[in-house]
């Protein structure tokens, strides 16, 4: 059986040859990603008789427009298309299935399915939890390669997940960095597109600056629709604390005030953060407890009793928390006693005290913006210790609501952000300018002196 696939460009060749378990391809618009995915799927189907392949996009119309329209012509005579199943079946027993995933219910439909290879086309348009759930379907005891391919552009709900794995290369327990490869591709790599649509580059160049940087240059640190675009995580500056919100942990001087912020959750994650405030009013997120199963936005189903027992334990054992008076702030909803004992009353039994947080959403987000702003020397008024992984994972990827301008889309994993804004509203500051902030004594040096 022979199928004509055409001539790939150099970046597409890298993608087709790569044998890592997890492979991401793209980073900018017009890099020839869809062609590369179809080509790789055909090659795998021909090389491994009986292999099972799945190609997923967010919606069925996208599947039809970007793949099925082409493949019905390209595979004519080589594979039979079963429209009811959205599947091509090859003469050698291989199959190429097409699916969509635009909701939690869609993701659940794949439970129990088994594939050798999955392609997530335009992966950043999918939720992280959907990709993780479908990735569990890649299994089997046969000798076929087990791989997951991602094509991607910056932006979308899956931006943070793809960026963490393939751009920042920050891995969680159970993730082996050696298994991941990122192959960048830009429109300038796609000679076929440039020949057919020479005006396409000019269209990208005419975009607003952030979109142009993402879609033309493939920059992942700018994201159209991202709420906290100023948030920066630069390991090169963890020590000097300039132009990075994430820094290396240090011991907190005993005279600094410490705060606790809390957002309740049960089926969704609960979030508790601890903050220290230095003599200049700069705040440091020094520790956190995040009630997530490991699957994004899935709560651990802890009762309030268990949550506050664990918060009390941490405050009695953590070297920067024990023995301190800790000021707490929480979502006003925990005072609701209409169905019996309120969540706050449960907290009181564990000697966990809160005041009601100011729940104005947009002013709260603005306070976070004001604190994240860098001054002329590159110093913000909000830092996050590198051990606070829930903040670092969830807050930078939050997107604006499509219906409420200036507000965060509440369908996202926004629990850490919510309790953070409660805290920031306790200590509001005015908008900052780019002037140099005068610092009498570097808190890191002070901490070294004291301890």
Residue range 34-60, pLDDT digits in tens? 899 999 999 999 999 999 999 999 999
Are the beta carbons of 205 and 28 closer than 8 angstroms? no
- What per-residue confidence (pLDDT) applies to 434? 53
Q: In the structure encoding, which two tokens stand for residue 236, read together?
A: 């090169």
Are the beta carbons of 49 and 92 closer than 8 angstroms? yes
Rg (CA), the chain: 25
- Burial of 101-114, coded b for 16+ CB within 10 Å and e otherwise, reads bbeeebbeebeebe
Residue 283, CA distances (Å) to 78, 191, 280, 384, 426 in order: 63, 50, 9, 9, 12
DSSP letters along 307-369, please? Answer: HHHHHHHHHHH-TTTTTS-EEEEE-GGGG--TTSS-HHHHHHHTT---EE----HHHHHHHHH
- Residues 6 or more apart whose CB falls under 8 angstroms from that of 399 comprise 157, 225, 226, 227, 408, 409, 412
- Residues 6 or more apart whose CB falls under 8 angstroms from that of 197 comprise none
Q: Rounded to whole angstroms, how far apart are CA atoms 100 and 58?
A: 5
Q: Tokens 């901490």 belong to which residue?
A: 447
Torsion angles phi and psi, residue 184, rounded to 5: -70, 150
- What per-residue confidence (pLDDT) applies to 443? 44
- Residues 6 or more apart whose CB falls under 8 angstroms from that of 313 comprise none
Q: Rounded to whole angstroms, how far apart are CA atoms 333 and 32?
A: 49
Q: Rounded to whole angstroms, how far apart are CA atoms 13 and 196?
A: 21
- Please, what is the Cα angle at 127 between 141 and 295, to 5 degrees? 60
- What per-residue confidence (pLDDT) applies to 271? 98
- What per-residue confidence (pLDDT) applies to 211? 66
Are the beta carbons of 149 and 37 closer than 8 angstroms? yes
SS3 assignment for 267-284? CCCCEEEEEEECCCCCEE
Looking from the CA of 103 toward its CB, the CA atoms found within 13 Å total 4
Q: Rounded to whole angstroms, how far apart are CA atoms 158 and 176?
A: 20
Low-confidence ranges of the chain (pLDDT < 70): 1-2, 4, 28, 207-211, 222-224, 405, 432-451
Pairing of strands 79-82, 87-90: antiparallel
Q: What is the pTM of this model?
A: 0.65
- What per-residue confidence (pLDDT) applies to 47? 93
Number of neighbouring beta carbons within 10 Å of residue 230: 15
Taking phi over 0 as left and psi of -120 to 50 as alpha, with beta for the rest, 77 belongs to left
Tell me whether residue 436 is exposed, middle or buried, using C-beta atoms within 10 angstroms of its C-beta: 0 to 12, 13 to 18, 19 or more: exposed
- What per-residue confidence (pLDDT) applies to 223? 62
Bridge partners, residue 255, by sequence: none
Pairing of strands 257-263, 326-330: parallel
Q: How many residues does the chain have?
A: 451
- What per-residue confidence (pLDDT) applies to 16? 94
Q: Rounded to whole angstroms, how far apart are CA atoms 204 and 224?
A: 14
């Amino acid at each position: 059986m022979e199928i004509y696939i055409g001539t790939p460009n150099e970046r597409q060749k890298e993608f087709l040859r790569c044998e890592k378990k997890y492979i991401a391809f793209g980073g900018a618009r017009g890099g020839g990603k869809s062609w590369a995915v179809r080509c790789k799927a055909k090659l795998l189907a021909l090389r491994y008789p009986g292999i099972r392949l799945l190609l997923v996009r967010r919606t069925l119309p996208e599947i039809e427009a970007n793949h099925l329209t082409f493949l019905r012509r390209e595979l004519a005579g080589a594979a039979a298309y079963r429209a009811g199943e959205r599947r091509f079946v090859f003469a050698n027993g291989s199959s190429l299935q097409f699916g969509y995933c635009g909701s939690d219910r869609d993701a659940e439909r794949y439970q129990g399915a088994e594939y050798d290879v999955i392609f997530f086309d335009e992966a950043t348009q999918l939720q992280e939890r959907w990709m993780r759930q479908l990735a569990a379907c890649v299994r089997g005891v046969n000798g076929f390669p087990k791989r997951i391919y991602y094509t991607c552009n910056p932006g979308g709900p899956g931006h943070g997940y793809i960026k963490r794995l393939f751009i920042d290369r920050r891995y969680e327990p159970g993730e082996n960095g050696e298994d991941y490869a990122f192959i960048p591709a830009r429109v300038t790599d796609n000679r076929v597109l440039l020949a057919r649509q020479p005006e396409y580059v000019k269209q990208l160049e005419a975009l607003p600056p952030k979109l142009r940087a993402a879609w033309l240059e493939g920059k992942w640190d700018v994201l159209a629709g991202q709420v906290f675009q100023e948030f920066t995580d630069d390991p090169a500056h963890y020590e000097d604390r300039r132009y990075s919100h994430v820094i290396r942990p240090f011991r907190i001087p005993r005279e600094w005030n410490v705060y606790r912020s809390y957002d309740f959750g049960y089926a969704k994650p609960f979030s508790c953060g601890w903050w220290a405030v230095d003599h200049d009013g700069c705040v440091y997120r020094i520790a956190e407890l995040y009630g997530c199963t490991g699957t994004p936005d899935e709560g651990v189903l802890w009762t309030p009793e268990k949550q506050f027992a664990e918060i009390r334990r941490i405050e009695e054992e953590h070297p920067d928390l024990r023995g301190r008076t800790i000021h707490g702030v929480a979502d006003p909803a925990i005072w609701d006693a209409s169905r019996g004992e309120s969540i706050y009353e449960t907290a009181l039994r564990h000697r966990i005290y809160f005041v009601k947080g100011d729940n104005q959403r947009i002013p709260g987000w603005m306070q976070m913006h004001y604190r994240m702003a860098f001054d002329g020397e590159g110093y913000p008024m909000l830092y996050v210790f590198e051990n606070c992984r829930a903040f670092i994972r969830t807050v930078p990827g939050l997107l604006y609501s499509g219906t409420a301008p200036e507000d965060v889309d509440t369908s996202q994993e926004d629990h850490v952000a919510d309790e953070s804004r409660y805290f920031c509203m306790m200590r509001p500051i005015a908008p900052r300018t780019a002037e140099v902030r005068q610092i009498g004594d570097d808190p890191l040096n002070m901490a070294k002196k004291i301890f």
